[in-house]
Structure 1
């Protein structure tokens, strides 16, 4: 069979396939019904879109069948889908919709309160779970998969406008064409051996690129079914996997840690799941996941914008991500000069000994698949400089060419004149069995540079024991002398973004001036509660030297008390 060059062609191939293709709760649609439903929506969309405007629609939905149906419809109609983040609010939410020039916004009744009072001129609202929507769609029920295909659809036709977040500024809408999305799906089919009988479980939010590019697209390209979870649930994960017969899933951020934090059960290995693919689980938790659930996790790396990718091979060292994907010319360079960094050097314990010299920003010096940002030339110019694609991520490379993730460029810490990467410290702290989730970030040092702060979410039933943490740190042979956290914040749950990534911006902004228990490391390596006189003395150091403390508007809370418990707000 000829390889499809567009997503529209992949959708058309579903016609006449009466195997189950989409599952959600009690709903089961065949591949044919998915293609038929997409054709009807594409025909409706063709009538709704103004010829004088951009062929863009926004989708403000949880993971319900309407989301993949509208993705498929947009592909047939030659339109682009902007995934709208339901955690955004007010003017920011309206900005996302207007910025992407959405003529139509597909939503559901549960999301309508988010739209109250928003100024969205010229945007047609479709509310999927209403009688009015059903009546609007009914006349198009007989459409075939080729009836609404816009002339001229090709690999370069825009397909997705998905928002990528940064530490500053408004989210940027990255462009993904039909050709790139279809190619990504085919690549993962080949890489993971996707079979027609597979079921891809989509529990990550579909407004984000991970769920669409790494989960939905390979299912579509390989003829596999998809099963949807409205929103990620750690407690409901295995029940869903069993009910749907799921064999593959994707994850980002802290999803794996949440799954490991659920109570162990005797039947944890009784399921059809064979593979998980994602980022940021870390080698320690990936090993724990395989030991407990019998499922291999494949850690990958790909910049959200598609500008660089790393593939893991069988000979990849445990802590490495892998080597550059075919066609990419990846290098680790000094972000200031562009000069390539030297290879990493490890001691007998596996500790990186030349981090200050070896860690740099990952760039792609070859031809990049990055397709730009929608109406944001300044951001494009920052991303592509001197003909190179700059990922904004820190890496180091060993002598054999394997690449190791070291954090984001804004996750770098400078402690006592030494550059440290937050991700490396997190990987060490993640070994502590008592911690369910870990985040490391910088807080200002009273004199100069940074101090290391860690937020820890404890496992169910565990109580933070500072002596146990001190003993654990002392036993880690690869913990550098400046890596031990100066401050430890105990959080009831790790604050995360809508895509389950740690909300480091908020953590950095609050620093140790928060409502959770905070412990400070003593010169002897032990930890004592930061409160009362200790906190006053520390604040006096900052005041004496005129050092600015992080203090975002509206987040200043009372500090911990002398015994480490939080004062009431």
Structure 2
């Protein structure tokens, strides 16, 4: 199926593979469909079940470290016992600030066993953004990896957790074998948990399926990150829907993941699938395109987790006679562009692309269950695609206040109906939750979750992802909030006005950040602003392009003409304006010339 439409015949062709997987699919549907919030099936019990069934098989592979399911469960149990001894109880929360390594999974599993929720802090955050994220949750304790101590020390003095020893240190080593030395003001967590019992905890009031397991942070359209609670049921849906129904994971499988585990795709979708198979989870600290296939061969991986940008980076690597020298045949993730779908499968010998669509906080998800090309698949949840105002995430209402569905095949704003079965967990901030809900959309009293994403129906209720709308764009696999970046730039004291948006670069995935600004003095130094932004923003959120102007055009109601500015991109449209770019492997902004723009557009720079 090389075209962009799905027909009944495409689905019929996929049926032999579906029938072959039917027992696994039936089992997966059971877990996917669990609705009883009082059920005692949780992330913790899923880990315990694997320890019982596959105790000697590998659960985690990381660098030179191999941890079995039995050892991983015992590790999580010691962590659970330690947290109980620290006075933590069901309903409490802790913050987790670690890069990808086995400790992050052990802490999440250990906390889950006693009903303590983990707030998964973005390892790229620093300064006021990081402090804001922590304060959204008000965790009792915080687990900080040695690799992130410098960033955490920058906000530590401004936190006031409700615990006598709130700051826990984990050395940047295999803490099962070595504890390291904790800096002043931190308790050495690895050393302290080593003395606790390795048996499964027995609780009078165990955690339940509907309890919060984790908090995931999202950069929404309001600027600073929002915290979205995710229940144990999210793991069960990933376990059943992706691990069993889509991938048919088995104990012999090895799932390679270089996606950050503070994101839902890495932690819930990928790890949830691993849990379903009693499989091994092979981790990498950070994604590397040049090391990817060596890792796949080293771990003998059979599946990998992706986001679309990651696949683009892999395709950009020089072709090699080793491109098919591996056992990897399946991939699970989101954002694979239709334009590179077939090329990726053909070059690397991929048989199954389990593309999905979901969000940390949303009530709707799609899965490419039939392994069809160029689609996020279908959903059993009630949804509609509706007309929207260009450049915004706002739907269009007719004169009667009713939303209007798009013609089949046209791009539309995806909205999911909020019902008892398809609830919306929302955010920790009630006002942020309310802003994501559309009320009285088609009839009085109804309510719908506004995803802010644009998709199109390509046939047989299969959708294709088109774009992400509103004040957020995607770059380097991360959502960048324009308001957040604008607020940081405003705080520099160097500009009068600044408007941030995403622009497309040919032959590059996602949208690069760009800011149009008015300096507040004639002695404005652009690289002084760059240094300020690098100190206060994650690297992916620092604008790649800067347009310096004398005034930013506004509408009659004093709103910026953001769409017009965005269309101009980084073109040298006006002689009175100057455009700069922060090119790869350079230390500062460089003023653009027509020749440089030609090189950028030709793909000469690997952004």
TM-score (norm: length of structure 1): 0.71
Deviations 1:26-55 (A, max 9, x none): 11111000000000001101122455x951
Q: Does 1:455 align with 2:505?
A: yes
CA distance in 2 between counterparts of 1:362 and 1:336 reads 13
CA distance in 1 between counterparts of 2:403 and 2:92 reads 42
Tell me, what secondary structure is at the counterpart of 1:289? helix
> Which residue matches 2:468?
408
CA distance in 2 between counterparts of 1:95 and 1:58 reads 12
Tell me, what secondary structure is at the counterpart of 1:63? coil
Q: Does the CA contact (< 8 Å) of 2:239 and 2:273 recur in 1?
A: yes
Q: Alpha carbons of 1:283 and 1:175: their partners in 2 closer, same or farther (altered >3 Å)?
A: same
Deviations 1:244-270 (A, max 9, x none): 121111112411111111222211101
Q: Alpha carbons of 1:291 and 1:217: their partners in 2 closer, same or farther (altered >3 Å)?
A: same
Q: Does the CA contact (< 8 Å) of 2:305 and 2:333 recur in 1?
A: yes
CA distance in 1 between counterparts of 2:502 and 2:211 reads 46
Q: Alpha carbons of 1:530 and 1:177: their partners in 2 closer, same or farther (altered >3 Å)?
A: closer
CA distance in 2 between counterparts of 1:530 and 1:384 reads 37
CA distance in 1 between counterparts of 2:58 and 2:458 reads 46
> Which residue matches 1:121?
160
CA deviation after TM superposition for structure 1 residue 73, in Å: 0.5
Deviations 1:192-217 (A, max 9, x none): 11112111112100011110111101
Where relative contact order (Cα < 8 A, 6+ residues apart) is larger, the structure is 2
Unaligned runs of 5+ in 2: 1-26, 32-39, 172-178, 181-187, 389-394, 440-446, 483-500, 510-533, 550-567, 582-586, 600-607
CA distance in 1 between counterparts of 2:407 and 2:347 reads 35
Tell me, what secondary structure is at the counterpart of 1:146? coil
CA distance in 2 between counterparts of 1:328 and 1:272 reads 37
What is the CA RMSD across the aligned residues, in angstroms? 3.8
Q: Does 1:100 align with 2:137?
A: yes
Unaligned runs of 5+ in 1: 346-357, 413-421, 427-435, 443-450, 460-495, 514-526, 540-548
Size of the alignment, in residue pairs?
451
Q: Alpha carbons of 1:452 and 1:239: their partners in 2 closer, same or farther (altered >3 Å)?
A: closer
Q: Does the CA contact (< 8 Å) of 1:12 and 1:146 recur in 2?
A: no
> Which residue matches 2:437?
384
CA deviation after TM superposition for structure 1 residue 398, in Å: 4.6
Q: Alpha carbons of 1:38 and 1:371: their partners in 2 closer, same or farther (altered >3 Å)?
A: same
Deviations 1:469-490 (A, max 9, x none): xxxxxxxxxxxxxxxxxxxxxx
> Which residue matches 1:86?
123
CA distance in 2 between counterparts of 1:400 and 1:253 reads 24
CA distance in 2 between counterparts of 1:377 and 1:62 reads 30
Q: Does 1:55 align with 2:115?
A: no
CA deviation after TM superposition for structure 1 residue 281, in Å: 1.9
Deviations 1:526-549 (A, max 9, x none): x9x955xx641678xxxxxxxxx9
Deviations 1:386-439 (A, max 9, x none): 211111111233565432322122289xxxxxxxxx99xx9xxxxxxxxx99x9
CA distance in 2 between counterparts of 1:315 and 1:274 reads 12
CA deviation after TM superposition for structure 1 residue 455, in Å: 1.4
> Which residue matches 2:199?
144
Q: Does the CA contact (< 8 Å) of 1:202 and 1:249 recur in 2?
A: yes
Q: Does 1:298 align with 2:354?
A: yes
Q: Does 1:275 align with 2:349?
A: no
CA distance in 1 between counterparts of 2:222 and 2:431 reads 14
CA deviation after TM superposition for structure 1 residue 385, in Å: 2.4
TM-score (norm: length of structure 2): 0.67
CA distance in 2 between counterparts of 1:511 and 1:196 reads 53
Deviations 1:479-515 (A, max 9, x none): xxxxxxxxxxxxxxxxx9xxx9985x946x73698xx
Q: Alpha carbons of 1:307 and 1:511: their partners in 2 closer, same or farther (altered >3 Å)?
A: farther
Q: Alpha carbons of 1:409 and 1:22: their partners in 2 closer, same or farther (altered >3 Å)?
A: same
CA distance in 1 between counterparts of 2:424 and 2:327 reads 36
> Which residue matches 1:34?
72
> Which residue matches 2:453?
393
Q: Does the CA contact (< 8 Å) of 2:362 and 2:449 recur in 1?
A: no
> Which residue matches 1:510?
546
Give the alignment partner of residue 415 of structure 2, picking from 360, 363, 368.
Answer: 363
CA distance in 1 between counterparts of 2:133 and 2:204 reads 26
Deviations 1:366-385 (A, max 9, x none): 532431212x1011111122
Give the alignment partner of residue 133 of structure 1, picking from 181, 184, 189.
Answer: 189
Give the alignment partner of residue 377 of structure 2, picking from 307, 322, 329.
Answer: 322
